Structure 1
Amino acid sequence: MTDRDASTMQFVDAGVTSLVEAPRDILERGLRSEQVVNQAGASQATFFRKFRTKSEFIEAVITSLTESTLHSADKVKQTVRAQLAANDDALRPTVTTLVKEAFDAIVNDASTARSLLSHIFAGSHRRTSTALENEYRRRDELVSAAYEALFEKTDATLRRPFTTKTFAVTVNAVIDGFRIRSRIDSRSVSPDMMSDALLAILGAVVDMSGLHQHLDDVVGPIDQPAETRPLPRDPRAAFLAAARSEFGKRGYFMTQINDIADTAAVPRVAANKLFPTKPHILVAALQSRVDSLRETVADDILIGLGDVAIIENFLLRCAQLASDETEFMDALLVAVAHDTYGEPESLLSLKEKLNIPSIIAPIVQRGQDNGAMSTISAPMDIAAGITNTLLLRCFTRRSDSPADNAAFVGAMVLNGLAHP
């Protein structure tokens, strides 16, 4: 065969396309040169100038099935590091983003079919078998490179008996399984499912404790009695401390009450009695702070502060609340903003018990009555607009101090944007 120039590859690609797209026709009639020539849009004369025999052509087709288009290990590390930096070194969003970016290429029907065909031919074709072995070796190196980049800033190790090699083989086996399943049942395979599976493997296999643990430390004997931890002296306080951590790590929707209970060493049955839903957790965590905020406004009224000064004080204290209770306040914003059809009573409880805008609605009303404030809308609507603007500012500008966030929102809503 001549060098694999553009016209040569045109015939090879046509042969591969026939194998991938019409395997039944190949079984019935064989891979005919006429079909390949028509597919390539060329002539028989050109075909036989490129391939002396049909066997030589088939050899080229089979060999092309295993040709690699993989990135280098350095490129993989650069990509992983860039995603880590973009996600503040958080593992879940980094893995999720990497999987989403690669998903279409992983489950591509044509590339999956080529891979399956190469495995079929490998049994009777030594060159293909060797090429596949090399391909797997390169893929294992890329998984190892991704692992190193993900955890290079930590003291992470792989739990025994896993090694970097066996970990890479496992990950590639999972990816291959998803690829094959997607070819037949694409609706059951999604980027989120794939990233969740990889995160589950990482969670089980990667040891962050620095103790060089064994896999048995994670999965014990099934007949071993469950460890019983003593009930905390104050189950409510222990549960709320664990809830703060879980909301901070996983966000409102991914956090589960049972997971919080397990972390807090509070029996699940007891936890569900104390906190039937996640909104009940938020009320328990924030009620005293909101009541304190309400009392400070009442004190400002009692000592005779002006309406604008009271609102400015409210903004500062509310911004401080958002800073002190970041995990719970973030969860509260999500819970109230989301249309939670499944929990209408609990959502109503949040709006009633943690009704922060209602604290300053009377001040807005008084300002409207004495002509000091605009009557553009009802007092409660204005109070909600002021409060929501402040909390959104605190939510999106975490690096700014509470005083700075309060001053910005105060200047904007109290002084307006127009020049005097």
Structure 2
Amino acid sequence: MADQGTRGWVRTQPRVTTISVTWDTHDGREATVRNPPPSRAKLLRAGREILLTAGRHVLLKGLTVSAVVERAGISETTFNNNWPTKVRNGVLGGHRKYIDDLLGSLVSDGPRITQDVLADRILQVFGENQGDPRRALRELARWDFEAVRDHPATLTRMLVATLARDHPVAVRSVRLVYDDITRKAARAYSSTLAGWGGEFRRPFTAESIAVVLTSLVEGMTLRWLLDPKAVPDELFGDAVTALVGAVVDVEQRHEHIDDVMEPLSREVIRKYRAEEDRDDPDDPWTAILEAAEGEFAQRGYYTTQLHHIAAAAGVDTAKLTRFFPTKADILEHGLRPVHDDLKRQVSHDALLRRGPEDVVRRHLRRLARAVARHRTWFDALVSLAIQDLARERDEAAARVRAALDFPALIAPALAAGQDAGVFVAVLPPDELATMLTNNVLVRAFSRCEHPPEEVAAAVGAVLLDGILVAP
């Protein structure tokens, strides 16, 4: 094939390399340019510079070919050789194709520099400040803010958000940059936190903190660009110090972020109720159970305290304990309707004289559905059981386990099956019932994306089929 440009760009080479950026054609296909000449990159760079530095000109006159070639110092003929006007094989041509390629190359200058040196910078700053996290955090934040503020890649990402949100290549390129920032920053944060002997309060993780801090510094950069007096250099450092002070727990109490607000929340609620002269909820029993379910879901059973539940329910702790003396009592009454409903359905199966195998399989399906519907309560039950096994037996926990004895619901059917020769008697029926029940719970939690029927079927295939007497 003949040369395609003034620098002898030959497209028919025995071995070719392709640039990393592809773009979408107008019919949805992707195309790539092989062995691009230097002039192509120079013209794309000129377009990016115009967008970043001459926005008003672009709004007035558009991003014209003449403006691009003038900025690049390259002839219009060379531009046309790189982006022929003619449409070939459905691929965009000419000025339109250049704009498409330009949008796809907006982040080609690479991500901001900070994530590549963040870990080393953290170690250096903490060493220089004798380990004082307040001084170190402010110094790190100031350095990061200045780096982000001054780096052209920040403006480029803002440009993509403004002009190219619907351009898949541009958006994908930005996401790759953010993924890289998040990964490297999270690794640095995790290492630092391990050195402190601390942990993040739920639901925060090193990755989510990295996203928050990146979003915060870029948002403050945007405000600084438009209103610099409102964003002094130390403001980001103050914000980071406040955030880290809230989300980091060096005592490893497995807390939730709401716990930081607990003293303030209690005082505000107390004043609110005093000013409004509000009575207790019309149905405090139900209000407490609903509040407990919400707190268990957010904090977990272990770390939820009675005063958390009382505050969420709108009652004081003394009144709560009149209904439920312990957290275990709340759990018992929260799950009792579920337990009683499953018990009723098993008894109905028996009245209908269903076979032992049918009774057990139907119960496993119903149990899996119940776990899916009431996951928070069952999670609390499992947490209580594990806690009880790991220490001296707790009286309240033992009482709950006796009242909510889910394995006992199918023990009679298993015993009847063993007596009838349906199930082998390798274990007592109560142990088989416990094994089946526990495996449904474990699989329902570990495969929460699976339908309950699949959970029950998997447990039945592995365990129940294993105890069936061969025909």
Which of the five TM-score ranges fits, normalised by the shorter chain? 0.5 to 0.7
Which residue matches 1:371? 421
Per-residue CA deviation, residues 168-190 of structure 1 (Å, 9 max, x unaligned), is 325438979xx9xxxxxxxxx83
What secondary structure, in the 3-state scheme, does the structure 1 residue paired with 2:421 have? coil
Do the aligned residues in 2 keep the contact of 1:230 with 1:265 (CA within 8 Å)?
no
1:169 and 2:226 are equivalent in the alignment:
no
Q: 1:347 aligns with which of 377, 383, 397?
A: 397
1:391 and 2:431 are equivalent in the alignment:
no
Q: 1:257 aligns with which of 272, 291, 306?
A: 306
Does the C-alpha gap of structure 1 residues 354 and 151 become closer, same or farther in structure 2, counting only changes over 3 Å? farther
Report the Cα distance in structure 2 between the residues aligned to 1:335 and 1:360, rounded to whole angstroms. 22
Which residue matches 2:461? 411
Does the C-alpha gap of structure 1 residues 290 and 166 become closer, same or farther in structure 2, counting only changes over 3 Å? same
Do the aligned residues in 2 keep the contact of 1:336 with 1:350 (CA within 8 Å)?
no
Q: 1:292 aligns with which of 341, 345, 355?
A: 341
Report the Cα distance in structure 2 between the residues aligned to 1:254 and 1:370, rounded to whole angstroms. 47
Q: Which amino acid aligns with 2:296?
A: F
Q: Which amino acid aligns with 2:444?
A: C
Does the C-alpha gap of structure 1 residues 299 and 169 become closer, same or farther in structure 2, counting only changes over 3 Å? same
Report the Cα distance in structure 2 between the residues aligned to 1:101 and 1:273, rounded to whole angstroms. 47
Report the Cα distance in structure 1 between the residues aligned to 2:372 and 2:184, rounded to whole angstroms. 27
Do the aligned residues in 2 keep the contact of 1:77 with 1:149 (CA within 8 Å)?
no
- How far did 1:166 drift? 3.7
Q: 2:191 aligns with which of 82, 101, 105?
A: 101
Do the aligned residues in 2 keep the contact of 1:229 with 1:265 (CA within 8 Å)?
no
Q: 1:190 aligns with which of 230, 239, 250?
A: 250
Does the C-alpha gap of structure 1 residues 220 and 266 become closer, same or farther in structure 2, counting only changes over 3 Å? closer
1:332 and 2:332 are equivalent in the alignment:
no
Does the C-alpha gap of structure 1 residues 257 and 398 become closer, same or farther in structure 2, counting only changes over 3 Å? same
- How far did 1:411 drift? 1.7
Q: Which amino acid aligns with 2:347?
A: A
Do the aligned residues in 1 keep the contact of 2:217 with 2:236 (CA within 8 Å)?
no
Q: Superposed, which structure 2 residues align to 1:92-131 within 5 Å?
A: 100-104=190-194
Do the aligned residues in 2 keep the contact of 1:287 with 1:354 (CA within 8 Å)?
yes
Report the Cα distance in structure 2 between the residues aligned to 1:307 and 1:147, rounded to whole angstroms. 58
Q: Which amino acid aligns with 2:213?
A: Y
Q: Percent identity?
A: 26
Do the aligned residues in 2 keep the contact of 1:80 with 1:146 (CA within 8 Å)?
no
Per-residue CA deviation, residues 203-237 of structure 1 (Å, 9 max, x unaligned), is 69xxxxxxxxxxx9998799998455331111010
Q: Superposed, which structure 2 residues align to 1:69-148 within 5 Å?
A: 78=179, 81=182, 100-104=190-194, 146-148=212-214
What secondary structure, in the 3-state scheme, does the structure 1 residue paired with 2:300 have? helix
- How far did 1:378 drift? 1.0
Does the C-alpha gap of structure 1 residues 343 and 273 become closer, same or farther in structure 2, counting only changes over 3 Å? farther
- How far did 1:76 drift? 11
What secondary structure, in the 3-state scheme, does the structure 1 residue paired with 2:353 have? coil
Which residue matches 1:356? 406
Do the aligned residues in 2 keep the contact of 1:293 with 1:314 (CA within 8 Å)?
yes
Does the C-alpha gap of structure 1 residues 243 and 165 become closer, same or farther in structure 2, counting only changes over 3 Å? farther
Report the Cα distance in structure 2 between the residues aligned to 1:389 and 1:269, rounded to whole angstroms. 38
Report the Cα distance in structure 2 between the residues aligned to 1:236 and 1:163, rounded to whole angstroms. 51
Does the C-alpha gap of structure 1 residues 373 and 417 become closer, same or farther in structure 2, counting only changes over 3 Å? closer
- How far did 1:82 drift? 5.6
Q: Which amino acid aligns with 1:372?
A: V
Do the aligned residues in 2 keep the contact of 1:316 with 1:406 (CA within 8 Å)?
yes
Do the aligned residues in 2 keep the contact of 1:242 with 1:263 (CA within 8 Å)?
yes
1:279 and 2:348 are equivalent in the alignment:
no
Per-residue CA deviation, residues 75-123 of structure 1 (Å, 9 max, x unaligned), is 9964785699xxxxxxxxx9xx98543224568xxxxxxxxxxxxxxxx
Report the Cα distance in structure 2 between the residues aligned to 1:286 and 1:224, rounded to whole angstroms. 32
Which residue matches 2:364? 315
Give RMSD over aligned pairs: 4.8
- Structure 2 portions without partners, runs of 5+: 1-123, 129-138, 149-153, 155-175, 198-208, 219-229
Equivalenced residue count is: 280
What secondary structure, in the 3-state scheme, does the structure 1 residue paired with 2:334 have? helix
Report the Cα distance in structure 1 between the residues aligned to 2:214 and 2:260, rounded to whole angstroms. 12
Do the aligned residues in 1 keep the contact of 2:266 with 2:311 (CA within 8 Å)?
no
Structure with the bigger percentage of helix: 1
Q: 2:431 aligns with which of 381, 390, 399?
A: 381
Do the aligned residues in 2 keep the contact of 1:335 with 1:347 (CA within 8 Å)?
yes
- How far did 1:342 drift? 7.0
Q: Which amino acid aligns with 1:264?
A: A
Q: Which amino acid aligns with 1:254?
A: T
Does the C-alpha gap of structure 1 residues 100 and 191 become closer, same or farther in structure 2, counting only changes over 3 Å? farther
Relative contact order (C-alpha < 8 Å, sep 6+): which is higher? 1
Q: 1:229 aligns with which of 260, 263, 278?
A: 278
Deviates more, 1:409-418 or 1:271-280: 409-418
Report the Cα distance in structure 1 between the residues aligned to 2:405 and 2:269, rounded to whole angstroms. 49
Q: TM-score, normalised by structure 1?
A: 0.55
What secondary structure, in the 3-state scheme, does the structure 2 residue paired with 1:283 have? helix
Q: Superposed, which structure 2 residues align to 1:39-50 within 5 Å?
A: none
Does the C-alpha gap of structure 1 residues 151 and 327 become closer, same or farther in structure 2, counting only changes over 3 Å? farther
